[in-house]
Amino acid sequence: MTKGFSLKNFREFLKQMYEVAGYRGKDKLKTVFIFSDNDVVQESFLEDIQNMLNSGIVPNIYTNDELGKIREEIRRPFKKAGNTIETPDAMNEFFFNNIKDNLHLTICMSPIGQAFRDYARMYPALINNTTMDWFMGWPADALTEVAMKFIGKMDLEEDFRNGLSDLCSYAHRTTIDNSGLMQRELKRIFYVTPTNYIELLKGYDQILSQKRTEVNNQRNKLRNGLSKLDEARVQVEQMSAESEIKRAEVSKQRKVCEDLMQDITKENKNANAQQENIEVQRVKIEKEKEETLQLAADAEAELKKAEPALIAANDALKSLDKKHIAEIKSFTSPPPDVAITMNAVMTVLQKEPSWQVAKKELADPNFVKKIMEFNPEKDISANTLKKMEKFTKQENFQPQYVSKVSLAAGALCQWVRSLEDFSKALKVVAPKRLKKQYAEEQLAKKIAFLEELEAEFQKLADRLRELQETHDKTMAEKEAYENELNSLE
C-alpha cells in the first residue's frame, strides 16, 4: 500500500497476482492473497473481493488487448496441458481456470466495532462464500509458554523465570475476567487481546532494563563516593607534609616583598622629580607655541587683506569664455586701453609686452586656465612687480574704464591689479613668515626635547610598573602560600 492508493492501483495489483497464479509462477503457481481490514482504503475494493469470492476473478478486469498478450504468453503451457484447439475462448478459459485453481483468498478482519457488521451486510459473499476461522483467546498453558519464550531471553535466575511466567499468565487471564465483569455491570466493552499480552512482556523487559540501569548508576555513585573518601585521606597525609614546605615559602616571599617595596619607593621619588621637570618644560613650550601661533595669525591677516581683490579677479576670470577671448583677439589694431591691459598681462606671464605676443597667447585654448592656475606667491618676482607698476600707475588702467571698451580686458585688468596688491602684501608678510618659520623650528626642537624627557619618564614609569607587578605577583604568591598553609592546617 502506498500513499494515494486507488482502485486503479488495486486492480493493477490483482492483474499481476492473476498472472503469477495463471502462468508466471512456473512450477509454483499456488498463490495466497491476504486481504485485511486495514487494506480497505476504499470500499470499492470489497466489491472486487466479493466478485472474486463469487466467480473466482473480477469480471472484465482485462481488456481485449491485454488478453491477447496473455494468450501469447500461455501458448506453450496451454499445449503442454494437452489442449490442441487454440481458440481465444479456450485459451482464456485455461488462464482463468488456472487462476481459480491456484489462487486462494484469505480475509483477515477484526469483529470489534461496527465496520465488520457493515461489510458483512453490504457484501454477503464475505460470509456465504468463505470458511470462517474464529481465533479465540489463548489458554493458560499457551500464555505461560509465550511468557517463557520472552522471559527466557532476560537475564534472570531459572527459578524466578517459572514463577514470573505463571504471574504474567495469571495477570492476563485476570484482566480478561475483569473485562467481562466490566461489560456485564457497566455495559462497557474493554478488549484484551494477545497483542496486549505481548506488550506486557515487552514492557516488563524494558522496565527491568531501566531499573537495572538506575541501580547500577546508584551503585557506581556509592563506589565512587567511597573511592573519593580514600583519596581524601591520602591527600590529607600529603598536605600535612606540604604544609611545612609552604611555611618556608611564605617566609621567603615575605622577604622578597619587603625588598621590592624599598625599590618601588626609590623609583617613585625619581619618577616624581622627572614629572615635575616635564611639567615645567611643558608650560614653557605652551607659551612659546602661543607666541608662534600669534605670529602666524598676524602674517595671515596681512595676507588676507589682499585676498578679496584676488578672489574678485578670479571670479571675473571665471566668466570669461572663448567668445570673450575671441573678442579681444579680433582686434587688428587694439584700442589703447586694451593694448595696455594685454601688455600688463604679458608682463605678469613674463612674456614680451607686445600685441603680437599677446595675440599668440590668446590663441592658446588653455589661456584662461593658465591665468586661473597662476600662483602669485611663486611666479611674481620683485623685478616683475616693478615692471607691473609701469602699467598700474597709469590713470586709465582701471577696470571700470577698460570694461567700457572690452569686458574681457576689464576682467584681465582687475586680475593684474589684484596680483599687484597681493604681491605687495606678500612682501610685508614674508619677513613675518620667516620669523614664524624660525619660531616653529625652535618650538619643534623644544618639543622634541620634551618628548625625549617624556620617553625617559615613560621608561621610568614602565620600570616602576614592572616593579609593582612583580610586587603584586609576589604578594599574590605569598597570600596563596598562606591560604594553602591555612587550609592544610
Confidence at residue 442, expressed as pLDDT on a 0 to 100 scale: 65
Confidence at residue 440, expressed as pLDDT on a 0 to 100 scale: 67
Q: Is the pLDDT of residue 69 over 80?
A: yes
Confidence at residue 106, expressed as pLDDT on a 0 to 100 scale: 94
| 38-42, 124-128, 315-319, 409-413: range with lowest mean pLDDT | 315-319
Which residue ranges form the domains of the chain, and what is each CATH number?
A: 7-128 (3.40.50.300), 294-467 (1.20.920.60)
Average pLDDT rounded to a whole number, residues 72-99: 87
Around Cβ 349, how many Cβ atoms within 10 Å? 18
The rounded percent of the chain whose pLDDT value lies above 90 is 25
Q: Is the pLDDT of residue 488 over 80?
A: no
pLDDT tens by residue, 434-448: 666 666 676 676 677
pLDDT tens by residue, 263-299: 777 777 776 776 777 777 777 777 766 766 766 666 6
The rounded percent of the chain whose pLDDT value lies above 70 is 84
pTM: 0.38
Confidence at residue 40, expressed as pLDDT on a 0 to 100 scale: 92
